[in-house]
Homo-oligomer: A and B are copies of this chain.
Amino acid sequence: MSSNNSRRRDVTVADVAKAANVSKAQAARALGNYGAVSDDVRERVLAAAEELSYRPNELARSMNTGKSHTIGVVVGDIENPHFGLATRGITDTAKKSGYNVILVNTDEEQAAEVDAVQILLDKRVDGLIVAPASSTETEHLQSVYESGRPLVLLDRAANGLAAETVAVNTAGISYESTVHLLDSGHRRIAFISTLKSDSPFKAETQVDSSQISERLDGMFRAFSDKGLAFPHDLVRLNAGDADSIQKITRELLRMPDPATVVVASDGLIALSVLGAIQDLGLSIPEDVSFLMYDDFAWTRLTTPPLTVIAQPVYEMGVAAANALLRQIQGRKASGTAPAFEARLIHRGSVGPAKVLSNS
One digit per residue, 1 when the CB lies within 8 angstroms of any chain B CB and 0 when it does not, for chain A 132-156 equals 0000000000000011100000000
A55, closest chain B residue (CB):
B122
Query: 1/0 per position for A1-16, CB-CB distance to B under 8 A?
Result: 0011000100000000
Q: Is A59 an interface residue (CB 8 A)?
A: yes
In the complex, residue of chain B having the shortest beta-carbon distance to the beta carbon of A63:
B59
Minimum CB distance partner of A79 in chain B: B88
- Give A106's nearest chain B residue, CB to CB: B95
Nearest-neighbor residue (CB-CB) of A271 within chain B: B297
B122 touches A57 (CB 8 A): yes
Does A274 touch B at the CB level, under 8 Å? yes
User: Assuming A62-B59, A81-B84, is B148 touching A3 (CB within 8 A)?
Assistant: yes
Copies of this chain per assembly: 2
Known: A59-B124, A119-B100, A300-B275. A105 touches B91 (CB 8 A): yes
Whether the pair A60, B63 counts as a contact (CB closer than 8 A) is yes
Question: Does A102 have its Cβ within 8 Å of any Cβ on chain B?
Answer: yes
Query: Quick check: A56 and B122 within 8 Å, CB to CB?
Result: yes
Closest 7 pairs between A and B when the two form their complex, measured CB to CB: A298-B298, A303-B303, A271-B297, A84-B84, A58-B122, A79-B88, A58-B123
Can you list 20 residue pairs at the A/B interface with Cβ under 8 Å? A3-B146, A8-B148, A55-B118, A56-B122, A57-B122, A57-B124, A59-B59, A59-B68, A63-B63, A81-B84, A84-B84, A91-B104, A95-B105, A100-B119, A101-B104, A103-B103, A275-B300, A275-B301, A298-B301, A301-B302
